[in-house]
Structure 1
């Protein structure tokens, strides 16, 4: 979180300087035409504001009916209607270990029943299916994640804190973030690559909903809000993350077609590991507890008891750092793995498998 704060402070100064420079330039002109120009600008401002408001209203009317509230026995979250057959995509941490759910659409207060099709905690995604598809159920349109740009205006739709059909507004703050979920509060512990960072408020209950651009396309599934350790791990305002639409479509299409994920696209070493500490009790690597027979590590000669300290040029100190390093790779990629065995440092070239 400190890194985010420092970046923000460094960025404010240049923007402020630019504003001051513009103010000085405009104040230097005594040309009478400036009056008419000012009047034109003043007239244009409310017109632009009205156009933007119209865009918001149009998008909300188009997309909100496709965003539902999902009630498990003890947890509540959101979901997005994926097709006209009643499939709904959401987060795996929303469905948890349960198999049946109550679903409420934006246009009705009557709860519908739904069953789990498949949950994929590794990517924190799941698909459920309505037992009966109501008339007028509208599937959302999913956009192209590769076209998402920093600065785009976005709307987050869902049921934060149980307030169904709620909408918050912000921008795309960054793309390509790799984020690891905690396991507390029902999180899956997944490490997810290429997430969309947004300033739109994301609160408990927003999970599984829709992050939408002004073209009415879902560009991501809101999943996480950053927390601030200095504030007792409360949500850090304006820092939320959404799983990109491309990954949502990849996973959902496989689940709907095959009943499970058959091609994850996630690189794996094929080990079970745990974080180890050095003599100063600082995280110092990942101890290999078990090696999957025939997996990537096994083929490269890595054994149980080895301690992994680097993947390529990335230092590995914890199991989380290993997961994040692997998230940046793809199955079939060749990487060097540095590890220690009986106190001696070794390196192996590994062709990564699939998770």
Structure 2
């Protein structure tokens, strides 16, 4: 199944409480160890296969987990990553919602610290907060180069799934370059995000905004979505999660910190408001143009309200989602074509894409 067509879930968790218990089991014997037991003990003391891998896991967790925080936004919980030493925290826009103040628990704070929203950019499902007071020892994460991420690469997902702070799961990079549309149900932003990293590491409610980390200790993405399996009633599909690539996180967060907003989205746009058009058989057949922004790419190309867009470049357009996905994979300023119908006649026009 094409991952871009898989329904996806937000991964922000309701604020819940957990009671945890531990049982200790011990055994003892006053007998001297047998020769076989002695040999087994000697073998256990030797380096085991995978010991180097385990050491790498432990080192990454020690290095990166202190940079992952828990964010409380009203009655929901999410995660965030310390972006710099000035107290900036990057997270998902759907974690912050419409709130402007938050409680943030860092690795070095026993009680939640207060933080204020700098800017939320729902179009890319990213947001930046700033701690009102920067605690001593706050450690910024290192963000990697998305171009170097490889399928099969071992990764660890760090965050606060279901309110369990400082949790770590492991998996691999399952795919790169996925374009995924987020559902608006339950408070999602409805963003269509290109070049996402697909991972088998468990991504659960509360992981949103946390860190997907390689064994070199660099953050390669921000876990954002988990796929939903329609056959399981829309519940999360195990082993299929998506993270916003680190390079996009740096681009968006850097602009927000420098300018207080996103000044160059890098996201292509036609400049229309549309709805999915269905044909006589009630099948999605294009995007009906409801409104055209003055001076936009569509306006300059002569597209008008009432037209039905059916193609962008070489991509067939059948729904608003498919148009969003096609635009997300493109760039502002690129010349392409738009195919549409008007009064039953199919037309194709050249267009220079604008910026969202």
- TM band (smaller chain): 0.7 to 0.9
For 1:232 and 1:2, the matched residues in 2 are separated by: 19
The structure, 1 or 2, with the larger RCO (C-alpha pairs under 8 Å, 6+ apart) is 2
- Residue 97 of structure 1 deviates from its aligned partner by 0.3
Matches within 5 A, 1:138-153: 138-153=139-154
Q: Which runs of 4+ in 1 moved over 3 A?
A: 1-4, 45-48
Specify the alignment match of 1:107 in structure 2: 108
Unpaired stretches in structure 1, ≥5 consecutive residues: 5-41
Residue by residue over 1:264-301, the C-alpha shift from the partner in whole angstroms, topping out at 9 and shown as x without a partner, is: 00000011111010111111110110101000000011
Matches within 5 A, 1:1-355: 1=1, 47-355=48-356
Root-mean-square deviation (CA, aligned residues, Å) is 1.5
Asked if 1 retains the 8 angstrom alpha-carbon contact of 2:3 and 2:178, the reply is no
- Residue 186 of structure 1 deviates from its aligned partner by 1.5
For 2:110 and 2:207, the matched residues in 1 are separated by: 18
Using the size of structure 1 for normalisation, the TM-score is 0.87
For 1:201 and 1:74, the matched residues in 2 are separated by: 23
Residue by residue over 1:53-96, the C-alpha shift from the partner in whole angstroms, topping out at 9 and shown as x without a partner, is: 00000000000000000001122100000000000000000000
Asked if 1 retains the 8 angstrom alpha-carbon contact of 2:227 and 2:236, the reply is yes
For 1:62 and 1:268, the matched residues in 2 are separated by: 40
Counterpart of 2:142 in 1: which secondary structure?
A: coil
Specify the alignment match of 1:27 in structure 2: none
Asked if 1 retains the 8 angstrom alpha-carbon contact of 2:252 and 2:262, the reply is yes
Using the size of structure 2 for normalisation, the TM-score is 0.87
Counterpart of 1:116 in 2: which secondary structure?
A: strand
Q: How many residues align?
A: 317
- Residue 312 of structure 1 deviates from its aligned partner by 1.1
Q: 1:188 to 1:301 in 2, by over 3 A?
A: same
- Residue 146 of structure 1 deviates from its aligned partner by 0.4
- Residue 46 of structure 1 deviates from its aligned partner by 5.2
Q: 1:255 to 1:93 in 2, by over 3 A?
A: same
Residue by residue over 1:214-265, the C-alpha shift from the partner in whole angstroms, topping out at 9 and shown as x without a partner, is: 0000000000000000000110000000000000000000000000000000
For 1:196 and 1:186, the matched residues in 2 are separated by: 22
Asked if 1 retains the 8 angstrom alpha-carbon contact of 2:108 and 2:138, the reply is no
Residue by residue over 1:26-73, the C-alpha shift from the partner in whole angstroms, topping out at 9 and shown as x without a partner, is: xxxxxxxxxxxxxxxx99x95441110000000000000000000011
Residue by residue over 1:185-207, the C-alpha shift from the partner in whole angstroms, topping out at 9 and shown as x without a partner, is: 22100000000000000001000
Unpaired stretches in structure 2, ≥5 consecutive residues: 5-42
Asked if 2 retains the 8 angstrom alpha-carbon contact of 1:106 and 1:164, the reply is no
Instruction: Determine which structure has the larger helix proportion and give its number.
Output: 1
